[in-house]
Amino acid sequence: MSLQNPVFIPGPTNIPDSLRKACDMPTMDHRSTDFADILHPALKGVKEILKSKTADIFIFPSTGTGGWETAISNTLAAGDSVLAARNGMFSSRWIEMCQRYGLKVKVIDLPWGEGLPADRYHEILAADKAHEIKCVLATHNETATGVCSDIAAVRQAIDEAKHPALLFVDGVSSIGSIDFRFDEWKVDIAVTGSQKGFMLPAGLAILGLSQKALARTSTAGLNPAFFNIRDMADNYASNAYPYTPPIGLLQGLKTSCQMLLDEGLHQVFARHHRIAEGVRRAVKAWSMPLCAMSPNLYSDTVSAIRTPEGFNSTDIVTHAANKYGVAFGVGLGQVAGKVFRIGHLGSLTDVMALSGIATAEMCMVDLGLDIKLGSGIAVAQDYYRTDH
């Protein structure tokens, strides 16, 4: 694998030089007053990217998975009921995590490629007259299938059912790349990580909590140690961490947030949509369907591309790595061997995207698929040349 080539996996994403340099800093005494100049701007930046004026931000040394464990263990107790839809690998993992914690999970099983069913959420919540369901889990962007669901519709379903359940949203592969509206959607906990839209190395679990969710942390029964929200909040008040913080990554996060805000969130989201649309047009030129079942579900951060029946899609990923030194994403879970994924998020440009499209074409032609060399590139070029 050549480290000179950009990666086209849906995370970790390409790291701009400015962010690598921001993370590369000498040792600092994390108990000194200087640490506050890194911590608080990072927290403030994340809050702005979530489009929130009310959320409390918490950053733990971990990944998005650790962020979900933080959400669950701080607000729920063993035996609590939660409602979740399973429509891909990552929604499945959050369900399994809840079950390991002894939570009762009401699962809505969906074909992989479908979006979250707001109508089913409403039906189940409306029938829950005793309000036994304590929270709703919603995966905003299912990274395994390239499906982006409508969180506003999920919130509307909860409200119309007049149900007090908390709304937990997995924004790991959306926040910082796709429009996310914490306050407007009345999200109670949003979870993401440092290695995708924030364009940093893996190592930070990033959460936004509503005041309703924060209040629940004082009464929940699981009482975690490392991922303890109350301990972290108490230490933030004195410009500290309850243990040694990852200062270099926090400095990177501070810089990343400023980069995104300087570009303008509207422009960040428009850039991701433009790059994604170029990839989608190339895929259409190849006469290959996306895993996402309808255009309103297409993700602007990752496209999962179905290959012909009987062809092992993993061969494309392996061939790209071995012959061209380029990384694409393999299919996961139910779509393993059936799709390959092109990640188009984070630090990426039209020109970089064209190199990924060209490489995918070369691989498919090399492997004998009925693809005309240059077909996808041509339509993507035409699209990128126009103003949007």
Q: What is the pLDDT of residue 250?
A: 98
Looking at residue 31, its pLDDT comes to 84
pLDDT at 32: 85
Q: Which stretch of DSSP H or E encloses residue 136?
A: strand 133-139
Which strand (E) or helix (H) includes residue 169?
Answer: strand 166-170
What's the token pair of residue 165? Answer: 């359940």
Q: Name the token pair of 22.
A: 């921001």
Fold held by 17-262: Aspartate Aminotransferase; domain 2 (3.40.640)
**265-385 has the same fold as 17-262:** no
Q: Which of 29, 81, 51 is nearest to 190 (CA)?
A: 51
Nearest partner of 43 among 27, 57, 29, judged by Cα: 57
What is d(CA 207, CA 209) in angstroms, rounded to the nearest whole number? Answer: 6
Domain ranges of the chain: 17-262, 265-385
Looking at the DSSP bridge assignments, the partners of residue 340 are 305, 330
The bridge status of strand 204-209 relative to strand 56-61 is antiparallel
Average pLDDT of adjacent 10-residue blocks, the chain of 388 residues: 87 97 92 92 98 98 97 95 96 96 96 97 98 98 98 98 98 98 98 98 98 93 91 95 96 98 98 98 98 98 97 98 97 97 97 98 98 97 90
Structure tokens at 381: 């070029």
CATH architecture of 265-385: Alpha-Beta Complex (3.90)
CA angle 274, 203, 169 (to 5 degrees): 60
Task: Give residue 1's pLDDT.
Answer: 62
According to the model, what pLDDT value does residue 3 have? 78
Query: 38 near 358, Cβ under 8 Å?
Result: no
pTM: 0.96
